[in-house]
A and B are shown apart, each in its own frame.
Chain A
Amino acid sequence: QSALTQPASVSGSPGQSITISCTGTSSDVGSYNLVSWYQQHPGKVPKLIIYEVIKRPSGVSNRFSGSKSGNTASLTISGLQAEDEADYYCASYAGSTTFVVFGGGTKLTVL
Protein backbone atom coordinates (compact mmCIF):
# COMPACT_ATOMS: atom_id res chain seq x y z
CA GLN A 1 0.00 0.00 0.00
CA SER A 2 1.44 3.33 -1.10
CA ALA A 3 1.78 6.22 1.28
CA LEU A 4 0.02 8.62 -1.10
CA THR A 5 -3.34 7.72 -2.59
CA GLN A 6 -4.05 8.20 -6.27
CA PRO A 7 -6.97 6.95 -8.36
CA ALA A 8 -6.01 3.82 -10.25
CA SER A 9 -7.24 5.20 -13.53
CA VAL A 10 -8.69 8.27 -15.19
CA SER A 11 -9.74 8.88 -18.75
CA GLY A 12 -10.65 11.73 -21.03
CA SER A 13 -11.18 12.61 -24.64
CA PRO A 14 -8.78 14.63 -26.75
CA GLY A 15 -9.05 18.32 -26.00
CA GLN A 16 -10.64 17.81 -22.60
CA SER A 17 -9.06 18.49 -19.21
CA ILE A 18 -8.50 15.91 -16.52
CA THR A 19 -7.32 16.10 -12.94
CA ILE A 20 -5.45 13.45 -10.98
CA SER A 21 -5.55 13.67 -7.21
CA CYS A 22 -2.84 12.67 -4.78
CA THR A 23 -3.97 12.42 -1.18
CA GLY A 24 -1.52 12.25 1.68
CA THR A 25 -1.53 13.38 5.27
CA SER A 26 -0.52 16.32 7.41
CA SER A 27 2.92 14.65 7.69
CA ASP A 28 3.71 14.86 4.00
CA VAL A 29 1.59 16.66 1.38
CA GLY A 30 -0.09 18.84 3.98
CA SER A 31 3.13 20.04 5.58
CA TYR A 32 5.46 20.70 2.68
CA ASN A 33 5.23 22.36 -0.72
CA LEU A 34 7.48 19.64 -2.06
CA VAL A 35 5.12 17.62 -4.20
CA SER A 36 6.35 16.40 -7.56
CA TRP A 37 4.68 14.60 -10.45
CA TYR A 38 6.14 12.14 -12.95
CA GLN A 39 4.91 10.88 -16.29
CA GLN A 40 5.88 7.37 -17.34
CA HIS A 41 5.09 5.88 -20.70
CA PRO A 42 5.12 2.05 -20.95
CA GLY A 43 8.63 0.68 -20.76
CA LYS A 44 10.11 4.15 -20.37
CA VAL A 45 11.84 6.12 -17.66
CA PRO A 46 9.75 8.39 -15.41
CA LYS A 47 9.89 12.04 -16.44
CA LEU A 48 9.57 14.94 -14.02
CA ILE A 49 6.68 17.20 -15.10
CA ILE A 50 5.85 19.19 -11.94
CA TYR A 51 7.92 20.02 -8.87
CA GLU A 52 7.39 22.05 -5.73
CA VAL A 53 3.63 21.65 -6.28
CA ILE A 54 3.26 24.13 -9.14
CA LYS A 55 6.57 24.51 -10.98
CA ARG A 56 7.24 23.10 -14.44
CA PRO A 57 10.71 22.06 -15.58
CA SER A 58 11.99 23.69 -18.73
CA GLY A 59 10.57 21.98 -21.79
CA VAL A 60 7.43 20.61 -20.13
CA SER A 61 4.21 21.70 -21.80
CA ASN A 62 2.17 24.37 -20.02
CA ARG A 63 -0.82 22.05 -20.47
CA PHE A 64 0.44 20.42 -17.27
CA SER A 65 -0.26 22.24 -14.02
CA GLY A 66 -0.15 21.40 -10.35
CA SER A 67 -1.94 22.58 -7.26
CA LYS A 68 -2.47 21.65 -3.64
CA SER A 69 -5.20 22.06 -1.06
CA GLY A 70 -4.67 20.72 2.42
CA ASN A 71 -3.45 17.14 2.27
CA THR A 72 -4.33 16.69 -1.41
CA ALA A 73 -2.24 17.65 -4.40
CA SER A 74 -3.58 17.62 -7.93
CA LEU A 75 -2.22 17.39 -11.44
CA THR A 76 -4.32 18.90 -14.21
CA ILE A 77 -3.72 18.19 -17.86
CA SER A 78 -5.58 20.50 -20.22
CA GLY A 79 -6.12 20.07 -23.94
CA LEU A 80 -5.64 16.33 -23.61
CA GLN A 81 -3.58 14.74 -26.38
CA ALA A 82 -3.04 11.11 -27.35
CA GLU A 83 0.61 11.37 -26.28
CA ASP A 84 -0.50 12.14 -22.72
CA GLU A 85 -1.65 8.54 -22.31
CA ALA A 86 0.73 7.24 -19.64
CA ASP A 87 1.06 6.44 -15.95
CA TYR A 88 1.37 9.39 -13.59
CA TYR A 89 2.97 9.28 -10.15
CA CYS A 90 3.02 11.85 -7.38
CA ALA A 91 5.67 12.09 -4.70
CA SER A 92 6.08 14.20 -1.60
CA TYR A 93 8.74 15.01 0.93
CA ALA A 94 7.61 13.53 4.23
CA GLY A 95 9.98 14.90 6.83
CA SER A 96 13.38 13.92 8.16
CA THR A 97 12.47 10.35 9.12
CA THR A 98 10.48 9.08 6.13
CA PHE A 99 11.91 11.56 3.60
CA VAL A 100 10.06 10.60 0.41
CA VAL A 101 6.76 8.87 -0.33
CA PHE A 102 5.25 8.03 -3.71
CA GLY A 103 1.69 7.54 -4.82
CA GLY A 104 0.60 4.25 -6.33
CA GLY A 105 0.24 5.71 -9.79
CA THR A 106 -2.67 6.61 -12.07
CA LYS A 107 -3.16 5.24 -15.55
CA LEU A 108 -4.44 7.92 -17.90
CA THR A 109 -6.33 6.71 -20.92
CA VAL A 110 -7.05 9.10 -23.78
CA LEU A 111 -10.26 7.88 -25.36
Chain B
Amino acid sequence: QVQLLESGPGLAKPSETLSLTCAVSGYSISSGYYWGWIRQPPGKGLEWIGTIYHSGSTYYNPPLKSRVTISVDTSKNQFSLKLRSVTAADTAVYYCARTDGTWEWDYWGQGTLVTVSS
Protein backbone atom coordinates (compact mmCIF):
# COMPACT_ATOMS: atom_id res chain seq x y z
CA GLN B 1 0.00 0.00 0.00
CA VAL B 2 1.26 3.42 -0.93
CA GLN B 3 2.06 5.63 2.03
CA LEU B 4 3.36 9.17 2.16
CA LEU B 5 4.83 10.87 5.22
CA GLU B 6 5.74 14.52 5.53
CA SER B 7 8.55 15.69 7.77
CA GLY B 8 10.18 18.99 8.58
CA PRO B 9 10.16 21.86 11.06
CA GLY B 10 6.80 22.92 12.37
CA LEU B 11 7.93 26.50 12.76
CA ALA B 12 9.47 28.91 10.29
CA LYS B 13 10.47 32.54 10.79
CA PRO B 14 9.18 35.28 8.51
CA SER B 15 11.40 35.87 5.46
CA GLU B 16 13.08 32.50 5.89
CA THR B 17 12.68 29.28 3.87
CA LEU B 18 10.18 26.55 4.70
CA SER B 19 11.54 23.08 3.92
CA LEU B 20 9.58 19.84 3.96
CA THR B 21 10.24 16.31 2.78
CA CYS B 22 7.78 13.60 1.79
CA ALA B 23 8.96 10.02 2.17
CA VAL B 24 7.12 7.50 -0.02
CA SER B 25 6.76 3.83 0.83
CA GLY B 26 4.98 1.02 -0.96
CA TYR B 27 5.74 2.47 -4.39
CA SER B 28 8.91 3.48 -6.18
CA ILE B 29 8.81 7.12 -7.28
CA SER B 30 11.01 6.24 -10.23
CA SER B 31 8.29 3.91 -11.55
CA GLY B 32 6.07 6.84 -12.47
CA TYR B 33 3.21 9.03 -11.29
CA TYR B 34 3.45 12.66 -10.31
CA TRP B 35 4.10 13.83 -6.77
CA GLY B 36 3.00 17.10 -5.30
CA TRP B 37 2.31 19.45 -2.46
CA ILE B 38 -1.02 20.91 -1.41
CA ARG B 39 -1.59 23.18 1.57
CA GLN B 40 -4.54 24.21 3.72
CA PRO B 41 -4.44 27.30 5.95
CA PRO B 42 -6.23 26.79 9.26
CA GLY B 43 -9.99 26.85 8.71
CA LYS B 44 -9.61 27.44 4.99
CA GLY B 45 -9.62 25.52 1.72
CA LEU B 46 -7.06 23.58 -0.26
CA GLU B 47 -4.41 25.21 -2.42
CA TRP B 48 -2.21 23.38 -4.89
CA ILE B 49 1.46 24.36 -4.58
CA GLY B 50 3.25 22.29 -7.18
CA THR B 51 3.98 18.89 -8.67
CA ILE B 52 7.03 16.96 -9.82
CA TYR B 53 7.44 13.96 -12.09
CA HIS B 54 10.04 11.32 -11.31
CA SER B 55 12.11 12.62 -14.20
CA GLY B 56 12.36 15.97 -12.46
CA SER B 57 9.86 17.94 -14.55
CA THR B 58 8.09 20.45 -12.33
CA TYR B 59 4.80 22.30 -12.42
CA TYR B 60 4.05 25.17 -10.07
CA ASN B 61 1.03 27.23 -9.06
CA PRO B 62 1.67 30.57 -10.81
CA PRO B 63 1.13 32.81 -7.74
CA LEU B 64 3.73 30.79 -5.81
CA LYS B 65 6.10 29.93 -8.63
CA SER B 66 8.71 32.57 -7.81
CA ARG B 67 9.11 31.24 -4.26
CA VAL B 68 8.76 27.47 -4.72
CA THR B 69 11.17 24.69 -5.57
CA ILE B 70 10.15 21.04 -5.60
CA SER B 71 12.81 18.38 -6.05
CA VAL B 72 12.92 14.60 -6.09
CA ASP B 73 15.47 12.12 -4.76
CA THR B 74 14.69 8.76 -6.31
CA SER B 75 17.53 7.06 -4.42
CA LYS B 76 15.77 7.89 -1.14
CA ASN B 77 12.28 7.56 -2.64
CA GLN B 78 11.30 11.00 -1.45
CA PHE B 79 10.56 14.46 -2.73
CA SER B 80 10.92 17.87 -1.13
CA LEU B 81 9.40 21.33 -0.97
CA LYS B 82 11.18 24.61 -0.40
CA LEU B 83 9.14 27.79 -0.03
CA ARG B 84 11.20 30.94 0.27
CA SER B 85 10.50 34.29 1.89
CA VAL B 86 7.62 33.00 3.97
CA THR B 87 5.08 35.19 5.74
CA ALA B 88 2.26 34.51 8.17
CA ALA B 89 0.04 33.85 5.15
CA ASP B 90 2.06 30.70 4.49
CA THR B 91 0.94 29.18 7.79
CA ALA B 92 -0.89 26.02 6.83
CA VAL B 93 -1.11 22.27 6.98
CA TYR B 94 1.09 21.03 4.17
CA TYR B 95 0.15 17.75 2.49
CA CYS B 96 2.16 15.72 0.04
CA ALA B 97 0.14 13.62 -2.39
CA ARG B 98 0.29 11.47 -5.49
CA THR B 99 -1.42 12.08 -8.80
CA ASP B 100 -1.33 10.55 -12.25
CA GLY B 101 -1.57 12.43 -15.50
CA THR B 102 -5.23 13.25 -14.90
CA TRP B 103 -4.46 15.42 -11.90
CA GLU B 104 -6.57 13.82 -9.20
CA TRP B 105 -4.85 13.12 -5.88
CA ASP B 106 -5.36 9.52 -4.79
CA TYR B 107 -2.86 9.09 -1.96
CA TRP B 108 -2.16 11.74 0.66
CA GLY B 109 0.24 12.15 3.53
CA GLN B 110 -1.10 12.83 7.00
CA GLY B 111 -0.22 16.51 6.70
CA THR B 112 2.12 18.64 8.74
CA LEU B 113 1.32 22.01 10.26
CA VAL B 114 3.88 24.70 9.58
CA THR B 115 3.48 27.96 11.48
CA VAL B 116 5.27 31.09 10.32
CA SER B 117 6.04 33.26 13.30
CA SER B 118 8.94 35.09 14.83
Asked if residues A51 and B46 are in contact (CB atoms below 8 Å), the reply is no
Residues of B within 8 A of A52 (CB): 102, 104
A-B contact count (CB 8 A): 58
Asked if residues B62 and A97 are in contact (CB atoms below 8 Å), the reply is yes
Question: Which 7 pairs from chain A and chain B are nearest by CB?
Answer: A36-B104, A51-B104, A100-B48, A105-B45, A93-B103, A102-B46, A45-B108
Residues of A within 8 A of B59 (CB): 99
- A-B contact list, 22 entries, CB within 8 Å: A2-B45, A34-B103, A36-B104, A38-B46, A45-B109, A46-B46, A46-B105, A46-B108, A48-B104, A89-B45, A91-B46, A91-B104, A93-B103, A99-B51, A99-B103, A100-B48, A100-B103, A102-B45, A102-B46, A102-B47, A105-B45, A105-B46
Checking A57, A91, A97 against B106 with a beta-carbon cut-off of 8 angstroms, the contacting residue is: A57
CB distance from A70 to the nearest CB of B (A): 20
Query: A110 contacts the other chain (Cβ, under 8 Å)?
Result: no
B side interface size, CB within 8 A: 18
A side interface size, CB within 8 A: 23
Question: Which residues in chain A, 37-83, are within 8 Å of chain B measured between CB atoms?
Answer: 38, 45-48, 51-52, 57
Residues of B within 8 A of A46 (CB): 46, 95, 105, 108
Query: B15 contacts the other chain (Cβ, under 8 Å)?
Result: no
Question: Which residues in chain A, 7-34, are within 8 Å of chain B measured between CB atoms?
Answer: 34
Contact code string B95-114 (vs A, CB < 8 Å = 1, else 0): 10000001111101111000
Query: B25 contacts the other chain (Cβ, under 8 Å)?
Result: no
- Give the residue among A47, A51, A101 with the most B Cβ atoms within 10 A: A51
- Give the residue among B59, B95, B102 with the most A Cβ atoms within 10 A: B102
Given contacts A46-B95, A93-B103, contact A100 B45 (CB under 8 A): no
CB distance from A78 to the nearest CB of B (A): 22
A47–B104 Cα gap in the complex (Å)? Answer: 11
